[in-house]
Amino acid sequence: MGEGQVVHARLSFQSGAVVNVSAVYAKCTRVGRRPLWQALEAFDAGRGEPWIVAGDFNVVSSADKRKGGLPVNATNMDEFNTVMYTCGLSSVDFDDSPFTWTNGTLWQRLDRALVNCLWAVAYTFTNVSHLLRGRSDHSPFLINARVGSVVPSSFRFLNMWRCHPSFLETVSADWRASGSGVGMALFHSKLHSLRAKLRRWSTEVFGNIFDRVQRAADIYKLKEEEFDSHGDEPARIRLREAQAVYL
């Protein structure tokens, strides 16, 4: 739809909830984006369900969403803001840098998430986190939307564990010693014990690797923000060094 600039999906969940998701990758010209605006308006018509639209819109909504380069084209902004108003869409709050794209001399917020009022009511906590650009000139973003309490983190098996000489013996010893009940109850009891054991063992042997990665990511993000603010060669060098450590 929209000449290949948007994909719509209607998602139904076991709880009975229904949401609409539109993924956008807009063209670079004002005329090229017009079929996208028409497609969004057509999709919105008479739709009384939560709706989120997210992606690269290739246009900014206001002058402060751009730094460097030529002045912002007012007509481009007006057409984008008009379709947002017509469709009843509002921008989702975000964390970190206000810019999501750069070529090293120009910074813009081209990527965003928009929601209608039904989404805002149904998912009272909706937030966008701008992630590290890495090797791209765009910042990928993570959309969080939830109602109620935060879901506990899941267990993660790390492939590097298999390479450690004490791994198999650790698994074997805990599997033999743990568990209660019979049948599937015994199996689940052993799995629960083994997950806890492997978490402790991993911290003792490797340290908290997630914290180490997060610290590297935090430094990388800081250097990215410094480069976005200053744009000079020393800031670029510090950014590349932080990127290398993070990767």
DSSP class per residue in 17-39: -EEEEEEEE--SSHHHHHHHHHH
* Confidence at residue 148, expressed as pLDDT on a 0 to 100 scale: 58
Least confident stretch, 59-73, 93-107, 172-186: 172-186
Least confident stretch, 64-68, 70-74, 88-92, 209-213: 209-213
Superfamily of domain covering 6-146: Endonuclease/exonuclease/phosphatase (3.60.10.10)
* Confidence at residue 164, expressed as pLDDT on a 0 to 100 scale: 92
Interstrand relation of 141-146 and 125-130 (parallel, antiparallel or unpaired): antiparallel
Q: For residue 98, give Cα distances in angstroms to 22, 64, 74, 110, 152.
A: 22, 9, 19, 10, 29
Q: What's the pLDDT tens digit per position in 30-70?
A: 999 999 999 999 998 877 899 999 999 999 988 888 988 88
For residue 115, pLDDT over 80 is answered with yes
* Confidence at residue 206, expressed as pLDDT on a 0 to 100 scale: 83
Cβ-Cβ contacts under 8 Å for 201 (sequence gap 6 or more): 166, 170
* Confidence at residue 229, expressed as pLDDT on a 0 to 100 scale: 83
Q: Start-end ranges of CATH 3.60.10.10 in the chain?
A: 6-146
Per the CB < 8 A criterion, the answer to whether 8 and 87 are in contact is: no
